Amino acid sequence: MSGRDFANVKRVVVKIGSSLLTKGGQGLDKAAIADWVRQMAGLRRQSIDVVLVSSGSVAEGMSRLGLKVRPKTLHELQAAAAVGQMGLVRVFDDSFQRHGLHAAQVLLTHDDLSDRQRYLNARSTLLTLLGVGVVPVINENDTVATEEIRFGDNDTLAALVANLVEAELLVILTDQQGLFTGDPGLYPDATLISEISVNDGRLDKMAGDSRSGLGRGGMSTKVRAARLASRSGAATVVAAGAVVDVIVAVIAGANLGTYFLPDIEPLVARKRWLAGQLQVKGQLVLDAGAVRVLKTEGKSLLAVGVKGVSGRFARGELVSCVDEEGFEVARGLINYGYADALLIAGKSSLEFEKILGYADDSELMHRDNMVLI
Domain of 75, CATH number, reads: 3.40.1160.10
Asked if residues 36 and 92 have their Cβ atoms less than 8 Å apart, the reply is no
Let me know whether 124 and 38 are in one domain: yes
Angle (nearest 5°) at CA 152 between 146 and 154: 120
Clarify whether residues 127 and 99 are in a common domain: yes
Residue 316 pLDDT:
84
- For residues 240 and 296, state if they share a domain: no
Whether residue 106 is found in the same domain as residue 208: yes
> pLDDT at position 148, please?
47
What was the pLDDT predicted at 302?
A: 95
Are 188 and 212 in a shared domain?
Answer: yes
pLDDT for res 64: 87
Task: Mark whether 146 and 63 lie in a shared domain.
Answer: yes
Q: What is the pLDDT of residue 216?
A: 40
Range of the domain at 315: 278-372
Which of residues 267, 296, 328 is at a domain's end? Answer: 267
* 83 plus 229 within the same structural domain: yes
Domain end point (choices 267, 293, 314): 267
Among residues 174, 169, 157, the alpha carbon closest in space to that of 246 is found at: 174
If asked whether residues 288 and 367 sit together in one domain, one would say yes
**328-333 and 370-372 as β-strands: parallel, antiparallel, unpaired?**
antiparallel
Identify whether residues 154 and 232 lie together within a single domain.
yes
Indicate which CATH number applies to the domain containing 318: 2.30.130.10
In a domain? residue 145: yes
Domain match, 26 and 153 both: yes
Same-domain pairing of 73 and 152? yes
- Do 261 and 290 share a structural domain? no
Question: How many residues are there in the chain?
Answer: 373
Report how many domains make up the chain: 2
Are 324 and 284 within 8 A, CB to CB?
no
Sheet (strand 103-108) strand order: 103-108, 135-140, 49-54, 11-16, 169-174, 235-240, 258-261, 195-197
HSE (side-chain half, CA atoms, 13 Å) at 270: 20
Amino acid, single-letter form, for residue 241: G
What pLDDT score does 200 carry? 84
Please report, in tens digits, the pLDDT of each residue of the chain (373 residues total).
Answer: 557 889 889 999 999 988 888 877 677 899 999 999 999 999 999 999 999 999 878 888 888 888 888 888 888 888 888 888 888 899 999 999 999 999 999 988 877 777 777 888 888 899 999 999 999 999 887 666 655 445 557 888 899 899 889 899 999 999 889 888 877 777 788 888 999 988 887 887 665 544 443 334 467 888 888 988 888 888 999 999 999 999 999 999 999 999 999 877 666 666 666 655 568 899 999 999 999 999 899 899 999 999 999 999 998 888 999 999 999 999 988 999 999 999 999 999 999 999 999 888 899 998 878 888 8
pLDDT of residue 217: 42
Q: Which of 267, 299, 318 is the last residue of a domain?
A: 267
Name the residue type at position 295.
K
